[in-house]
Amino acid sequence: MSQNASAVAARHKIGPYAPKRKFSLVLIFTHVCLFIALLVFVFPFYWMISSSLKPMADIYIVPVQFWPTRPSLNNYLEIAGLIQSDEIDFRGGISLTRTFLNSTFIAVVNTAGTVFLASLAGFAFAKLRFKGRNALFLSMLATMMIPNSVGLVPSYLIMAWLKWINTWYPLIIPGLATPFAVFWMRQYMTTVPDEMIEAARIDGCGPFASYWRVVVPVVLPGMAALAIFSFMGHWNAFMGPLIYLNKPELYTLPLFLAVLDSGVSGRPVPLHLIFTASFVSILPILLIFLFAQRYFIAGLTAGSLK
């Protein structure tokens, strides 16, 4: 009897009697291709980190050194302004520390303001009933079709009239509630059942109390995803700071990298400092995504699951 059961299980490949899966050539080829693709994507990051630990002479050496033979943290100390640097002095004397703090402040304030104001506007468009709601929402969406380059000159003239040139106001205030952010939150808040809003209203909650106590806890994944988008956009922004900022002490990280890459008569491009600054500039984005990827993925997929 047991032999018959074993034969049946083996024939149908079930239970502990199922044979082990054999690796086919297609499966091996697929894994080899994926491993090669992984190396292609990872190698630039490895080369950037490795070069940030080398002196500039070792970067230009031939044959190429794929790992630092004389690893040192002098590049980080030099670019942070903790030790003397001729390269930094020739380019205005601004350090990575100052530009890092500038970018952090601008990105954090923009992100907090964008998430709060866009979620409020999204709640109004999704759950409040008022005259002209749809027309106003469509008008806002229409502005997304206008290229940003079209508004550069008018925006600069307005900021000059307001005397906001060489300040952070043009980098913060106009971007506190973008049409994309409002559209994102509005679409996400449509998934919140109206019955929850009605129940909160019966319990005596006004519009803002319903938004804060009922809707916000439900849409936290969408707000987190929007926060990541907003932080990345403002952290990597280059055109705005390039147009509105002329004082080195107000520079952001992208401008600092552009200054490092600028040519100085009789001096080579400081690749060791560029690699170091590049690694420091992508580190916050990488850490934020690693720690908040659960909310990021949930925010992207919630609309399709609800």
Average pLDDT, the chain: 83
Is a pLDDT exceeding 70 seen at residue 171? yes
pLDDT at residue 22 greater than cutoff 80: no
Of 81-85, 200-204, 236-240, 286-290, highest mean pLDDT: 236-240
Assign 3 a pLDDT band (cuts: 50, 70, 90). low
Q: Looking at the structure, tell me whether residues 44 and 99 fall in a common domain.
A: no
pTM score, whole prediction? 0.81
pLDDT at 18 over 50: no
Q: Are residues 284 and 196 in the same domain?
A: yes
Q: How many CA atoms lie within 13 A of 9 on its CB side?
A: 12
Q: Give residue 217's domain range.
A: 90-305
Secondary structure letter of residue 21 according to DSSP: P
Cα radius of gyration (the chain): 27
Q: Do residue 121 and residue 43 come from a single domain?
A: no
135-140, long-range: CB < 8 A, 24+ apart: 137/186, 140/179, 140/182, 140/183
> Are residues 284 and 138 both part of a single domain?
yes
Confidence at residue 192, expressed as pLDDT on a 0 to 100 scale: 87
Exposure of 22 in the CB half-sphere (CA atoms within 13 A) = 3
* Tokens found for residue 238: 């280059």
In terms of domains, do 122 and 229 share one? yes
Alpha-carbon torsion 265, 269, 273, 274, what sign? positive
| Class of residue 190 by CB neighbours under 10 A (exposed 0-12, middle 13-18, buried 19+) | middle
Which residue type, as a one-letter code, is found at position 37? A
- What is the C-alpha separation between 278 and 252, in angstroms, rounded? 13
Tokens of 131: 């005259």
Domain count, the chain: 2
| DSSP H or E segment with residue 306 | none
Q: Above 90 in pLDDT, residue 123?
A: yes
Average pLDDT over residues 197-214: 87
